Structures are given as structure tokens and as C-alpha cells.
Amino acid sequence: MARSSAHVSYAAPTVPMAIIMTVLCLFLANNVTHARTPATYIVGDEYGWDAIILMDTWAKGKTFYAGDILEFKYDLYSSNVMVVNRTGYETCIPNENAEEHRTGDDRIQLPYGLSYYIGTADAADCSAGLKMAIKAN
């Protein structure tokens, strides 16, 4: 019986696979190492940290990222900035161990993924809207 010497060869599509892998690696690298310079936001813009505007309204529509800086400008003799927990934010009563800032020009850098609740020690100002809840992406 004669043996068949037919040889079937299969060449893997190396070029298309290489392109797919390169595109995939670039996509993943961009999403993992997306570098941007941290933005600095003056909270309240030209009004500063003041009950004249609702701070949650000021923050609405803005996307904050880890590393971004919130700068609070206010009259240090009549106000302050308090980083509180959610209950402190909702009730306008600073929680125990709340972080108080009172220089009149405070800068808070946002870490990744944390929700920040910011208010003031003055319950009347807080209830009037001098508070905000934000999250850094």
C-alpha cells in the first residue's frame, strides 16, 4: 500500500494577530496609566466658599479625579471648612474627628475613589447650602 506524502501546512495569521495584540495593549495601557495633570478647582468660583451659592449645585456636573485639588477661599474670621462623614453632611453637625480647616485659603487633594463630604461648623450656613458631597474618580 502506498503512503500518501501529502503535506498540509497551516500558516497562522501572524500579522493580523500582531495588530490585534498591539491595539489591545495600547488600549489597556491607556486605561491603566492614563496620566493627567491634577486640576485645581476654586470652590464656588468667584464667590469662594460662601453660603451665597449652593455648593452642591457648584459641584454638580463636574468630574473630579484622584489628585485634583479643591481650593477653599473664605473669610477665616467668619467661616471654616470641615471634612465630615456622611451623617455630618446630612445633619450639618460635624462628627467627632471631623477634619477642620480654617486658614481662609485651604487646599484639599482628593484621593482615588473616596466620597468627600464637606461642610462648615456653622449649622445655619451648612443648612443654607454651604456643604457638598463629591467623589474622585
Convert the pLDDT of each residue in 64-116 to its tens digit. Answer: 999 999 999 999 999 999 999 999 999 999 999 999 999 999 999 998 888 89
Instruction: For the domain covering 40-135, report its CATH number.
Output: 2.60.40.420
How many C-beta atoms surround the C-beta of residue 8 within 10 A? 4
Please give the model's pTM, rounded to 2 decimal places.
0.73
Check residue 33 and report its DSSP letter: S
What's the 3-state SS for 37-55?
A: CCCEEECCHHHCCCCCCCH
Strands 99-101 and 81-84: antiparallel
Q: What percent of the chain shows pLDDT beyond 70?
A: 75
